[in-house]
Amino acid sequence: MNSITASWQNLPRQQYLPQHVLGGAMTTSQAEQAPAAMIDRVSSLLGVFDGSRRLTLAQISRRSSLPRSSAHRILQRLVELGWVERHGFEYGLGLRIFELGSLVVRQDGVRRVAVPFMQELHLQTGLTVHLSVLREADILHIERIGGRPDDRECWQIGARQPAQHTAAGRILLAGLAPAARPDTELSAPPTAYGPRSLTELERELDKVRDFGVAVDAHGTVPGFASIAAAIGPIDRASAALSITGPISVLKPERLGGALRGTAAEIWAAATGGRSRNAVRAGAHRAAGAPQRG
């Protein structure tokens, strides 16, 4: 027996054997903590991806606060499972993520009925139409019709933005009592035109409640504006409809009525189970206008 083997055999068993071998089974606490910790790591890793952006291993490790070796090991397994895709030295979300995401979106009744109304609003205005929901302190875009204003990531389906710095976010925040709003620190606005204090934000929300629409001019990208309306009563709305475009053509006083009307039609269709034609027919009957064939 050589000296290395002899030294290894003389070590106390707990120095080189895992806990479940030393004492039989792991304790209940240890058994519960191990998978929970791994889930937390996977969640931290997947959370660094933003829309279609691809990241290097170093970027993922830094943003997720995971050691590089741990991030690499988890990424390898996620690639095998289809949750993540590798492109050279970069990683991006895989098709499996989008498959599951599309299932969630298809189960959303508001989104399902909203699409034809959004398409018509886009054709009427020539502007980009978004359907968005509040997720914690962010606004999440779950549907988009139209390729404008441009391909910036902040306006893509699945993109998240701080709610207080968007028209869609402010219309939904305005309907919440202060105690019911998500806990958040007011982050710096992307441009010089967004609210920079809680006092300024409260003033913006008061305007939203007075006018029934939220307006954001230059707040996300200089030169562009958005207006948003709640789908349903503002104090019970779970989704917002918004239109975005160049500030030179997006006039809230001209488009606000059409936006609110479309949001009301989506709400009626979602809650009453009526089709777009049925909603439109009811609106024409109520107004005494002739019905379209």
Q: Please write the tens of the pLDDT for every residue from 151-162.
A: 566 667 877 888
Q: DSSP labels for 141-186? A: EEEEESS-S---GGGSTT-EEEGGGSHHHHHHHHTS-GGGSPP---
Residue 199: which pLDDT band, with cuts at 50, 70 and 90?
confident
Q: Does 286 score more than 80 pLDDT?
A: no
Ranking 71-85, 127-141, 147-161 by mean pLDDT, the lowest is 147-161
Q: Which pLDDT score, from 0 to 100, does residue 280 have?
A: 52
Q: Does 277 or 139 have the greater pLDDT score?
A: 139
- DSSP conformational letter for 14: G
The pLDDT tens digits of the residues spanning 211-259 come to 889 998 876 777 888 899 999 888 888 899 999 988 888 888 888 889 9
Residue 12 pLDDT class (50, 70, 90 cuts): very low
pLDDT digits (tens, 9 = 90+) for 107-122: 466 888 899 999 999 9
| pLDDT above 80: residue 265 | yes
Tell whether the model's pLDDT for residue 9 goes beyond 70. no
**23 against 91, higher pLDDT:** 91
Q: What's residue 187's pLDDT?
A: 66
Q: Are residues 86 and 72 in contact, defined by beta-carbon separation less than 8 angstroms?
A: no
180-218: b (≥16 Cβ within 10 Å) or e = ebeeeebeebbbeebbeeeeebeebbeebeeeebbbbbb
So what's the pLDDT on residue 271? 79
Percent of the chain whose predicted confidence (pLDDT) is above 90: 20
Residues 6+ apart with CB under 8 A from 292: 280, 284
Q: Is the pLDDT of residue 261 over 70?
A: yes
pLDDT for residue 5:
41
The pLDDT score that the predictor gives to residue 134 is 86
Residue 275 has pLDDT above 70, yes or no: no
pLDDT of residue 96: 76
What's the average model confidence in pLDDT over 24-32? 50
Chain segment 146-187, per-residue pLDDT in tens: 876 555 666 678 778 888 888 999 999 998 887 787 766 666
